[in-house]
Amino acid sequence: MKTTELLSKVRKIEIKTRSLSQNIFAGQYHSAFKGRGMAFSEVREYQYGDDVRDIDWNVTARFNHPYVKVFEEERELTVMLLVDVSGSLDFGTTKQTKKDLVAEIAATIAFSAIQNNDKIGVVFFSDRIEKYIPPKKGKKHILYIIREMLEFKPESRRTDLNKAVEFLTKVMKRRCTAFVLSDFYIRSSFQNELTIANRKHDVIAVQVYDQRAKEMPDVGLMKIVDAETGHEMLIDTGSRKLRAAHNAYWTRQQEMLRDVFSKSNVDNVSIATDEDFVKKLMILFAKRG
């Protein structure tokens, strides 16, 4: 991608997603994602009914009168985006590719985060950790993240979600909110790693997909290519039996995914490339609020 074309695309995403995060997600994001705990704020004189465990004995001894510590919710969060950059994300038959949709969703979450003074970081993953951008604050940092999402070229085209989730658990020492952005075109189980990660962090799964993964069109003979393995195959989409099998496979995969998310206690949402992702995210945020 040429520099001018890249900057233009970054600017378009910035204008659209910053506006969304300011006008739509401001309140939703704040209520959906809580601070990581309670922070000490001040001391005040003990009042009847206060918990004796909150007494500040140093201050009490100094003034010869009981004082208690006052705590308030510590609002600042660290938000991590785990972004799938494998080959299957390059696919899209309607308005945009899955990769483009992921970039818009990630940018919207990122701008919502900095409005709440939260840090934002990214892990790009395929079947390995392709790149890690440590959490920071600020618009400049977000624009860097968006540029990387649009321009980044992974070394591998395959997927292994376990690698990304394991890396998150190791690299993030304190609790964070982690969005996994992927089509979840996964060939191996990741339930155990996801469960472990969600005990330590607050993990949310955002699945992006194209309608063609759900329903195969009747367009006669078609050559299909597995974006991750490069395997090519000629199929007859005119076959009603083949189209039914394709749809049944999609349904089974979705049921398996829902089962994994349910057992891992992970909130999740599925968004198609031709859908309004704003509505879907707002429903997800409202459930958590």
pLDDT at 102: 94
Residue with tokens 């993240």: 145
Mean pLDDT of the chain: 85
Checking if the pLDDT of 37 tops 60, the result is: no
Query: Is the whole-model pTM more than 0.85?
Result: no
pLDDT digits (tens, 9 = 90+) for 142-178: 999 999 988 899 999 999 999 999 999 999 988 899 9
pLDDT at 117: 82
Name the pairing type of β-strands 119-125 and 78-84: parallel
User: Does residue 17 register a pLDDT over 80?
Assistant: no
Angle between helix 191-200 and helix 240-264 axes, rounded to 10 deg: 40
Choose among 200, 123, 132: nearest CA to 161: 123
pLDDT of residue 65 exceeding 80, the answer is yes
Strand partners of residue 38:
73
Q: What is the pLDDT of residue 265?
A: 95
pLDDT band at 50 (very low <50, low <70, confident <90, very high): confident
Answer yes or no: are the C-beta atoms of 285 and 32 closer than 8 Å.
yes
User: How far is C-alpha 18 from the geometric centre of its chain's CA atoms?
Assistant: 17
Q: CA-CA distances (angstroms) from residue 39 to 36, 72, 141, 173, 192?
A: 9, 5, 27, 18, 32
pLDDT of residue 19 exceeding 80, the answer is no
Q: Which two tokens stand for residue 20?
A: 């969304």
Mean pLDDT of 46-58: 85
- Is residue 104 over pLDDT 70? yes
Q: For residues 115-128, give the mean pLDDT.
A: 92
Q: Give the model's pLDDT for residue 83.
A: 97
Residue range 273-278: mean pLDDT, rounded: 89
Non-local (6+) Cβ contacts of 199 within 8 A are none
Q: Decide if 194 contacts 222 (C-beta within 8 A).
A: no
Inter-residue contact 117 to 76 (CB < 8 Å): yes
Residue-wise pLDDT for 185-216, tens only, equals 877 789 999 999 999 999 999 999 998 888 88
Asked whether the beta carbons of 67 and 60 are under 8 A apart, the reply is yes
Nearest to 274 by CA among 149, 19, 104, 98: 98
Mean pLDDT confidence for 110-123 = 88
Is the pLDDT higher at 117 or at 6?
117
Of residues 276 and 171, the one with the higher pLDDT is 171
Structure tokens at 283: 């429903």
Q: Nearest CA to 102 among 129, 127, 82, 128? A: 82
Averaged pLDDT, 110-129: 91
Pick the CATH number of 3-32+76-288 from 3.90.1170.50, 3.40.50.410, 1.10.3470.10, 3.20.20.70: 3.40.50.410
**Of 104-118, 126-140, 147-161, minimum mean pLDDT range:** 104-118
Give the pLDDT confidence score for residue 183 in this predicted structure: 94
CA 242 to chain centre: 34
What stretch(es) of the chain map to CATH 3.40.50.410? 3-32+76-288
User: Which token pair is 144?
Assistant: 């860097």
Q: Over 60: is that where the pLDDT of 74 sits? A: no
Distance (Å, whole) CA 12 – CA 32:
27
* Coil, helix or strand at residue 122: strand
Q: Is the pLDDT of residue 27 over 70?
A: no
The one-letter code for the residue type at 124 is F
pLDDT number for residue 219:
81
The reported pLDDT for the residue numbered 24 is 60
Measured N-to-C along each axis, helices 98-115 and 25-32 cross at an angle, to the nearest 10 degrees, of 80
Single out the residue of 35, 36, 39 nearest to residue 174, CA to CA. 36
